[in-house]
Amino acid sequence: MPPVLKTAQSPLQTAMTQCGLIAILRGIKPTEAEAVGTVLYEAGFRIIEVPLNSPEPLESIRQLRQALPLDCMIGAGTVLDPAICPEIVRAGGEIVVMPHSDAQVIRAAKSALMACCPGVATPTEAFAALAAGADLLKMFPAEQLGPAVVKAWRAVIPPEVALVPVGGITPASIAEFARAGASGYGLGSALYKPGMTADQVAANARDFIAAWRQAYPSTRQQA
């Protein structure tokens, strides 16, 4: 099924509608950010995340924000400390992505006027994150949860809330998750890992975009 999003779309929802693939550039260096970000944007990606356990992550976020058009949202991942949120904003970040669902981090992100995507693994965590202000739900780790859990959650999570499996997603696995009701995907080492050239990332990006368009044909002209 295609992503179900609110009528009055936020910038994050607009980006998800265009392409629900989130590039996770764990380990990227600032000197690589522009080249890798450019090939991802050209392939159709509209959300890019730099985890904070990368080398100089705020500088990479700054480089991506300066290099890419404004319809591409740039965010920080593996955000564990609410105190870092103002620094993310100053670097040009617009999204906070978390491996967990700490309400303090969610509220700090929202107070800084950023979108927030917490990691959740149970319905209890999911509804608590939404109550704290989460914009979408990062289902993590996707390898452990699987499409069956996505389908079960889709029956109880409000339809306008995007469910985004993260962890071990490949082009081949997107179709089954899509049938279960996933709205988008966080892509890690199958898309980018340290040492890859921009050309290698571009090839991986094209494979993911092709899988996305096949699974979500209604977005074919937008991605």
Query: Pick from 134, 119, 99, 151: which is nearest to 10 by CA?
Result: 134
49 as an active site residue: the answer is yes
- Between CA 23 and CA 4 the distance in angstroms is 21
- Whether the upstream peptide bond of residue 2 has omega within 30° of 0, thus cis, is no
What lies within 8 Å, CB to CB, of 102 at 6+ separation is 80, 82, 118
CB 210 within 8 A of CB 171: yes
Assigned token pair, 171: 């082009």
CB 166 within 8 A of CB 119: yes
143 as an active site residue: the answer is no
Catalytic residue among 34, 42, 49, 110: 49
CA 129 to chain centroid: 16
For residues 91-124, one letter each, b for 16 or more C-beta atoms within 10 angstroms of the residue's C-beta and e for the rest, the string is bbbbbbbbbbbbeebbebbbebebbbbbbbbeee
Catalytic residue among 6, 87, 94, 138: 138
Assigned token pair, 182: 């996933």
Residues with catalytic annotation? 49, 138
